[in-house]
Chain A
Amino acid sequence: MSKSKTQSVPAKKSNQISVYENLVERVTTGDTGEFFMEVAQLSKFTINFFKNLFRPSFEFRELMRQCYVAGYKSLSLVAITGFIMGVVLTIQTRPTLARFGAESLIPGMIAVSIVREIGPVITALICAGKIGSGIGAELASMKVTEQIDAMEVSGINPFKYLVVTRILSTTLMIPVLVIFADFIAFMGGFLGINILGDVGIRFYFTQIFNSLDYNDLMPAVIKTFFFGYFVGLVACYKGYTSNKGTEGVGQAANSAVVIGSLCIFVIDAIAVQLTSLLGK
């Protein structure tokens, strides 16, 4: 499609101009154009977030409510997922390690893989599904029913009240949920080991903490703040800018999960690269 548009540029124009026009045309139309428009709007949304974040007055009560919704109400789901993660990981890796007579390494293996990778990523994905879709759908439905406009005309800043509090809550709560999920996963791992063996809880946890160091913990914790921030940002952006009626509500929820999950993988890939570069 863009090829035919390239051909439609008049031949009399100089090469430089036609290349420029072609580029502008490609960037501003079709899928590419939409993508760049979306990136530009998301950047504007991000700038707006930071502007409102530091501008008084602060919505502490709403922030606490959102932390409760995002954090406390996700505890059970995160706990079940974490527990299963621990059990499955232990049961799956045990035969391989047993073949090499390295069963004693199981706690260390669980600790490193859960803390560094599996815990943060799986928990963030669960949160993108549960919290992200909730925020996306809620804000989109508020937009459709003019509730956001109603806030604006009554002199309340809806961006500060709805968006800033939600993004902050996911940024703060997802790291807490990840730490909680990690701990529950260790408990699951302990159960997994004891299904076929007999390991004391003190020995198990001593092995776990001995195999973890600063380089395992810090990068993992730091990246979870970014996971939380992007889950909240994408969900709020999609919900707050939704404009296609009730169809838009579904789309906002869907995009919040899909793009949020994609962001988690991209951030994780960057974090792994940075960690390995800094670790050298």
Chain B
Amino acid sequence: MEKVKEKKETDEEKDVKDTDKGPVMEITHLSKGFDAKQILKDINLTLNKGENLVVLGKSGTGKSVLIKCIVRLLEPDKGKIKVFGKDMSALKDTELNDMRKKIGFLFQHAALYDSMSVRDNLKFPLRVSDKTDKEKEDLVVEMLESVGLADAIDKMPSELSGGMQKRIGLARTMILKPEIILYDEPTTGLDPVTCKEISNLILEVQKKYKTSSIIITHDMECARTTSNRMVVMKEGVVVAEGTYKELQKSEDEWVRSFFE
């Protein structure tokens, strides 16, 4: 048993080393507020290639606002977000759309188009691609198989459970083969077994498609399973950064309280 544990730790260390291939995303001095309330205050973050970066924090600390700023669903008030060396705020509409295809986004409640079947949901992001119908269909089947839901292809979103919707949402995110994936609370509202399945799926996706990810969560099990590195946010500020183990032994009591 100990040996297995040791081996797992070695794998984790290897994974961390693998991620050390330079940043794919750099966030510098990012601030965002709504009316008088400042949500993000001078955030500085780097996401390395192949890395799973978990952003941890209590509800309302601005975690979701952070990833919405990355894809410009929200416009930052201050600061820069560079993805693959390009300043996101300087991109024109067409460039922004091209860049967004390289950044997958899994929404908290999957955000499946409820008037479309699972097949059409997955095909939707491909509508502007040059692929033939046959290629699109094959890709849809491949993605559904990768999330273990090939049988659900003709179902409507309302016929799926919460966990299944998350998986389909992930398949739809993956269909454009993004290099970066942003997960907004991927395990929220799911039972522990499904949470574990989703966490393992995130790891599988990282290994299979060599993606870099930012995972917003306050589910510690998900954070433990998926993270290569973690940052902890408190009231719009990054207060701690390190691996799961490092943060577990943090001197800051508030940070440690997440792990208890």
Chain A residues near B (Cβ < 8 Å): 57, 138, 142, 145-147, 149-157
Contacts and interface: CB of A to CB of B under 8 A. Distances in A.
Contact of B107 (A57, A149, A156): A149
A151 B107 CA distance: 11
A155 B73 contact: no
B176 interface: yes
Given A57-B128, A149-B73, A150-B105, A155 B100 contact: yes
B101 interface: yes
Given A149-B73, A149-B107, A154 B113 contact: no
A157 B97 CA distance: 8
Given A145-B109, A147-B112, A156-B125, 12 more contacts: A138-B115, A142-B113, A145-B111, A145-B114, A146-B107, A149-B111, A153-B73, A155-B98, A155-B100, A155-B101, A155-B125, A156-B97
Most chain-B Cβ atoms within 10 A of its Cβ — which of A57, A146, A150, A153? A153
A151 B109 CA distance: 14
Contacts of B108: 146
B259 interface: no
A126 to B, nearest CB: 23
Contacts of A153: 71, 73, 100, 103, 105
A99 to B, nearest CB: 55
A154 B113 CA distance: 13
A56 to B, nearest CB: 11
A185 B58 CA distance: 63
Contacts of A57: 128
Interface residues of B, number: 23
B111 A156 contact: no
B124 A156 contact: yes
A152 B96 CA distance: 10
Contacts of A138: 115
Most chain-B Cβ atoms within 10 A of its Cβ — which of A57, A142, A145, A154? A154
A142 B113 CA distance: 8
A53 to B, nearest CB: 16
- Which 7 residue pairs spanning A and B have beta carbons closest together? A154-B125, A150-B111, A155-B97, A146-B111, A153-B105, A155-B101, A155-B100
B173 to A, nearest CB: 8
A154 B176 CA distance: 8
Contacts of A156: 97, 124-125, 127-128
Contact of A147 (B103, B113, B127): B113
Interface string B61-95: 00000001001010000000000000000000000
Interface string B104-124: 010111011111000000001
A145 B98 CA distance: 24
Nearest to B94: A155
Contacts of B176: 154-155
A154 B100 contact: yes
Nearest to B107: A146
A160 B109 CA distance: 24
B131 to A, nearest CB: 14
Contacts of A154: 100-101, 105, 124-125, 172, 176
Most chain-A Cβ atoms within 10 A of its Cβ — which of B98, B112, B113, B176? B113
A155 B109 contact: no
Nearest to A153: B105
A149 B113 CA distance: 11
B90 to A, nearest CB: 18
B109 to A, nearest CB: 6
